[in-house]
Amino acid sequence: MSRNSAWSFFFLTAFLAGCGSGHSNSTPPVPTASSRIQHIVVIMQENRSFDNLFNGFPGADTATSGMSKGVSVTLQSVPFEQGTDVDHSHPGWWKDWDNGAMDGFAHASSYPIPNLPYGYVPQSETAPYWTLAQRYTLGDRMFQSNTGPSFVAHQYMIAGQSADSDENPGSTPWGCDAAATVRVAMIGPNGTDLPGVYPCFDYQTMADLLDAKGVTWKYYAPTPTASGGIWSAYQAIRHIRFGADWTTNVISPNTQVLTDIANGQLAQVTWIVPAASYSDHAGAGLTAEGPDWVASITNAIGASQFWNSTAIFVSWDDWGGWYDHVNPPQVDNMGLGFRVPLIIVSPWVKAGYVSHTTHEFSGFLKYSEEVFNLPSLGTRDVQADDFSDCFDYSQTPQPYTQIPVTFGAAFFTASKDHAAPDDD
pTM of the entire predicted model: 0.92
Beta strand segments in 82-225, E: 119-120, 137-139, 142-143, 184-187, 193-197, 217-220
Backbone torsion region of residue 320, taken as left when φ is above 0, otherwise alpha when ψ lies between -120 and 50, otherwise beta: left
pLDDT of residue 212: 98
pLDDT per position as a tens digit, 322-335: 999 999 999 999 99
Q: Which residue has the higher pLDDT, 400 or 110?
A: 400
Question: Is residue 5 over pLDDT 60?
Answer: no
Average pLDDT of 190-207?
97
Interacting residues of 29 by C-beta distance below 8 A, sequence separation 6+:
35
Cα 150 to Cα 388: distance, rounded to the nearest angstrom: 26
Q: For residue 296, give the nearest of 404, 386, 379 by alpha carbon.
A: 404
pLDDT of residue 223: 82
Confidence category of residue 418, pLDDT binned at 50, 70, 90: low
pLDDT of residue 277: 86
Question: Is residue 252 over pLDDT 80?
Answer: yes
SS3 content of the chain, % helix, strand, coil (to 5): 30, 15, 50
pLDDT per position as a tens digit, 84-142: 999 999 999 999 999 999 999 999 878 889 999 999 999 999 999 999 999 999 999 99
Question: Is residue 416 over pLDDT 70?
Answer: no
Confidence category of residue 8, pLDDT binned at 50, 70, 90: very low
DSSP bridge pairs for 316: 45
Every domain of the chain and the residues it spans: 38-413
Q: What is the mean pLDDT of the chain?
A: 91
- Asked if residues 203 and 160 have their Cβ atoms less than 8 Å apart, the reply is no
Cα 347 to Cα 236: distance, rounded to the nearest angstrom: 34
Question: Is residue 414 over pLDDT 70?
Answer: yes
pLDDT of residue 60: 98
pLDDT of residue 362: 98
Share of the chain above pLDDT 70, in %: 90
DSSP state of 415: -
Question: Is residue 420 over pLDDT 70?
Answer: no
Q: Report the CATH number of the 38-413 domain.
A: 3.40.720.10
pLDDT of residue 227: 52
Least confident of 16-30, 283-297, 313-327: 16-30
Average pLDDT of 51-57?
98
Share of the chain above pLDDT 90, in %: 82
Question: Is residue 80 over pLDDT 60?
Answer: yes
Cα 344 to Cα 298: distance, rounded to the nearest angstrom: 10
